Amino acid sequence: MDRRKFIKQSTFLSIGGLFIPSVFFSSCRKESLFEDINYDGKVIIIGAGAAGMYAAYLLKSKGIDFQILEANTSYGGRLAKLEGFADFPIDLGAQWLHGKNSLLGDLIATSNTQITLDDSAEKYWFNNQLIDVLPKDVNALFGKEEDVPDLSFKDYAIQQGFNNEYKYIVENIAGDSGASASAISAYWKMKEEENWVSGDDDFKFQETFYDLFDQQIASVVKDKITLNAVVKKIDHSQDGIVITDTNNSTYLADKVIVTVPISILKLNDIQFVPTLPSEKTNAFSKIGMGAGMKVFLKFSNKFFDENIIGGSVCAAYADESIGKLTNENVLLAFIMGDQAEYLTALGSDVSITNALLQELDLMYGGQATASFISSHVHNWTNNPYVNGAYSYSTIDMGDARKIAAQSVDKKIYFAGEAMNNNGHHQTVHGAVETGYREVINILNDILK
C-alpha cells in the first residue's frame, strides 16, 4: 500500500525528543513549549482520536487541566482493533505507518514497538488477467510535480491517454488517496504533499497501530476521557466557553480543541455560537471526505497474491498477514469512494462478502469460494461520528486546509488529519502533528 510516489525533503526540529517539521515553528516561540508554564484555565478537547489524545498527552505533561469529550462508546477515533477473528490482532482503521520521520516514528523507536517494512509485491487485474507489470505506468502520472492540471484523477488519466482498461488501476490510486477517481484533484493532491517529509516507506505493526496509542498515549490520559458525550453546541460568546452535549450536559472551558472528522464539521453537526466566519465554513466545504470500508476475508488456503490492484468491485486487496506472527490466511479488501458506496448499498455483510468472493473467484479460478472460512466487514461510512474514511484534496481546493485550521479568537482551535496543511493529511502521524501544533498555539496564546 504505497501511499506516496514522490517525496520532498525538509528540515526537522527535535524538541524534547519529538520530531516535527520546522515549518510548524515559523510563527511561534518554539523555546517556550517545554519550559515551565503556569496556567489555571481548562482545555476541553472534542474527540478522542489520534489528534485529541496526543494533544491531551502534551497538556498533561505541562500540568494543564483538560478533559476529552468523545461521542463514541470507546476512544481511538479512526484507530480501532479487532480480536478473535484471526490468530493475530487486526487494525480496523489506520494500519500502515507512512514513513518513520515523524512524531510517531520517534515514539515507536523510544517504546521499542515492533514494525515491519511492507515491501510486498503487486499484481494487476488488467484486461481480465493478473499481470506483474502494466503496459504503461499510470502511477507515473500522479508523481509529476509540474504541469499537472486541476482535473480529477479520472479526467487527467483520460487526458493523458489512459483509456478505460486502466479505469480501476486509476481507482486504486485514487482510493489510496481518499476517494474515487472522479472526486480527487490531481493538482491539489500533489501540491498539498510537496512538504511531505515523513519518508516513502510503509510499515506494518507486529501488533496494531491501535495498540501503540492504547499503550503509549491513551494509558496516560484515558482517565480524563468522557465517553458517549456527543457535542452539539460550543458557545464561545462570553469570556468562558460553554459546551453542551446531546444529553444537555454542559462543560466549561477556557479553550477548546476541536478534533472531530471534517465530515462532522461539513454537516454542521456542532453549532458554534457565535457562528464561525464564513471563510472558515467555506474552507470546511472544500475539504473532501469519501466513503470507506475494510473487509477481512479468511481462507483455508493462501491462493492470493500479496497485493491485487484493479478490481471493479474492490480496487485494492492486500495480504493482511504481512508483518504478523500468524499461520492463518487473511486478505484485506480496502474499499473507497464509489466502490464503498456500491457495496454499502448492497445492504448486508453477506452480500458484501459474496460480491468480493465472486470477484476473487474470477481472478483465481474459483479458489476464493472454495477456501472461504469467514469475513468481517467494517464500514466507516456507517459510523455516525466519522461518516467516511479520511480527507482528500478536491478540485479548486486552494488553501482550504490552512484556513480551516486557523484558530478563532484564541479560544477555539482545530486539529485532526484534515487540518494538517503540511502534507501529512490522511495519516495518523499527520493528525498527531496537528494536536502538537495546537498545543503550541495554545501555549503561545497563554504567554502573550
- Output the pLDDT for position 145: 67
Confidence of residue 25 (pLDDT cuts 50, 70, 90): very low
Report the chain's C-alpha Rg in angstroms. Answer: 22
Residue 411 CB-half CA count within 13 A: 19
- Coil, helix or strand for 203? strand
Burial class (CB in 10 A: 0-12, 13-18, 19+), 298: middle
Buried b (16+ CB within 10 A) or exposed e, 26-55: eebeeeebeeeeebeebbbbbbbbbbbbbb
pTM: 0.92
Q: Alpha-carbon distance 416 to 94, whole Å? A: 14
Buried b (16+ CB within 10 A) or exposed e, 362-377: ebbeebbeebbeebbb
CATH superfamily, domain 18-77+208-288+396-447, is FAD/NAD(P)-binding domain (3.50.50.60)
**What are the tens digits of pLDDT across the range 317-334?**
999 999 999 999 999 999
Position 396 pLDDT exceeds 50: yes
- Coil, helix or strand for 169? helix
**Extended beta strands in 153-248, E state:** 202-205, 225-226, 231-235, 241-245
The answer to whether 141 and 162 have CB atoms below 8 angstroms apart is yes
Task: Supply 390's cell numbers.
Answer: 479520511
**What are the tens digits of pLDDT across the range 58-95?**
999 999 999 999 999 999 999 999 999 999 999 999 99
Domain ranges of the chain: 18-77+208-288+396-447
Confidence of residue 19 (pLDDT cuts 50, 70, 90): very low
